[in-house]
Amino acid sequence: MTTETLAVSRPAFGRRQVHAVAACYFVASFAALGLPPYFTEILPGLGDRAARWAGVLYVVPTVFSALAAPLWGRLADRFGRKRLLLRAQLGLAVSFLLAGWADSLTMFTVALVLQGILGGTFAASNGYLGAALDGPRLSRALTLMQGSARAALVFAPIVVGALSPWLPPHRQYALLALLPLAAALLLAALPEPAEAEAEEPAEREPEAAAPAPRAALRRLYALEFAFVFSTVISFPYLIALVEERLPGASAVLSGLLFALPHLCYLLTALAVHRVLHARPRHGIALGFALIALGLAGHGVADTLPALVAVRLLLGAGLTLGMVGLSVLAADCARGRAPGGMFGSLEFFSKAGAVAAGVTAAVGSARFGSAAPVLIGGGMAALTVLATLLPPHPRTRWSH
């Protein structure tokens, strides 16, 4: 069968398909991102009256997702990216149902472990897109996927809180299991990436078969770990920091300050991508510099305008760094099995998040609520220096 015949008989993998994958990730992330902030309300009903295990259970899915992601990625390259993406959505649905029905702390913990092992929708979605797209089209799709993650992080806790008067957060797990099921039904209608590859050969870059050097891949993993560590470390204790600096601040104001960097990404990421897709190294270096300045500013900001300014500065750094890393990931995916690569990238991302959570807990307990942002700022500043070092002679930082 000729390429022309394939193009007629199969739907093209274009913007609609990319938006469908991003939308499926958004709806499937609602329970995973919206319900953990309510663990302090869920755990007393399961026997943990003081919710002492809330901090540990918060990172349980992340730890097991990090361990499972490389394996699922390799299996996707072997058995099909669409199949493994569907598996991830169905795995989330099963784990959410178990969490919603759990009547003991042990059963709830098992459900969270299964969420980490059976989920991994972000890495699975990126691996699926990596098999269908490359170059600027892939980096733009990865930027959109990060936008879905930011949107879920902002809106999911609000929706869960709004539903709480009618349905306790614990039982919302069972209700929200319908979302990954709906996502799986939508994804079932999408083509296998290998089919899309055959449809648009003219749009694929001539260098697609030549993989980037392994040095570029190692640097990508290191930068991903440092980026996630630097940004996530400020999440757990930001509300406490706001309450300390602005006594009497409402929960709505605290939530808006928390969401501000993510809203900055949502509003500007695609525009930033158009500027950075040819020069990711500069964007990553500038992003880490702004993150360092923004986090350092958190240590001294004690008025509402000052906090808004440093949150916006952090948002600008988050946007530049995340978009630059998406472009770099698309470059590294060229000529490689995308499932394995994005699975490994997810491992380093989750490892950075776990390290940030542990460091934030220890630093906050010993030095106060400002310690996590200062530690994250120090990590970002060191990464700026490492990023500005001349890359390996064969490392390609742009297309």
State the residue for tokens 């991830």: 88
- For residue 202 the two structure tokens come to 């003219």
pLDDT at 346 over 50: yes
Question: Between the CA of residue 22 and those of 60, 88, 150, 181, 221, what are the distances in Å?
Answer: 25, 14, 11, 15, 23
pLDDT tens digits, one per residue of 261-298:
999 999 999 999 998 888 888 899 999 999 999 998 98
Q: Which amino acid is at 163?
A: L
Least confident range from 39-53, 170-184, 303-317: namely 39-53
Instruction: Please give the pLDDT value at position 200.
Output: 45
Least confident range from 131-135, 233-237, 276-280, 392-396: namely 392-396
The pLDDT confidence band at residue 325, using thresholds 50, 70 and 90, is very high
pLDDT at 3 over 70: no
Q: How many CB atoms lie within 10 A of CB 326?
A: 26
Instruction: Please give the pLDDT value at position 359.
Output: 87
Instruction: Please give the pLDDT value at position 318.
Output: 94
Residues of the chain above pLDDT 70, percent: 88
- For 312, counting Cβ atoms within 10 Å of its Cβ (0-12 exposed, 13-18 middle, 19+ buried), the class is middle
- Which one is predicted more confidently, 28 or 171? 171
Note the helical H segments in 188-250.
193-199, 214-232, 238-245
Closest listed residue to residue 29, CA positions, set 188, 141, 147: 147
Annotate 187-213 with b (16+ C-beta within 10 A) or e (fewer): beebbbbebbbebbeeeeeeeeeebbb
pLDDT tens digits, one per residue of 94-139:
999 999 999 999 999 999 999 999 988 888 899 899 888 888 899 9
- For residue 255 the two structure tokens come to 């939530």
Closest listed residue to residue 138, CA positions, set 150, 124, 121, 126: 126
**pTM (2 d.p.):** 0.82
pLDDT tens digits, one per residue of 73-85:
888 888 888 999 9
Instruction: Please give the pLDDT value at position 286.
Output: 94
Instruction: Please give the pLDDT value at position 59.
Output: 84
CA angle 99, 347, 290 (to 5 degrees): 105
The pLDDT confidence band at residue 315, using thresholds 50, 70 and 90, is very high
Least confident range from 54-58, 131-135, 177-181, 183-187: namely 54-58
By the 8 A CB rule, do 43 and 54 touch? Answer: yes
Question: Between the CA of residue 331 and those of 44, 271, 334, what are the distances in Å?
Answer: 47, 19, 6
Residues of the chain above pLDDT 90, percent: 37
Closest listed residue to residue 157, CA positions, set 171, 169, 144, 174: 169
State the residue for tokens 């648009």: 200
pLDDT at 8 over 60: no
- Spatial neighbors of 56 by CB under 8 A, at least 6 apart, are none
The pLDDT confidence band at residue 12, using thresholds 50, 70 and 90, is low
The pLDDT confidence band at residue 310, using thresholds 50, 70 and 90, is very high
Kind and range of the H or E element at 6?
A: helix 3-9
Instruction: Please give the pLDDT value at position 179.
Output: 92
By the 8 A CB rule, do 185 and 307 touch? Answer: no
Residue 298 DSSP SS3: helix
Closest listed residue to residue 378, CA positions, set 362, 356, 361, 397: 356
Question: Between the CA of residue 75 and those of 69, 153, 217, what are the distances in Å?
Answer: 10, 28, 20
CA distance between the termini of the chain: 32
pLDDT at 199 over 80: no
In angstroms, rounded to a whole number, what is the distance separating the alpha carbons of residues 107 and 97? 11
pLDDT at 210 over 90: no
- Spatial neighbors of 226 by CB under 8 A, at least 6 apart, are 288, 352, 379, 380, 382, 383
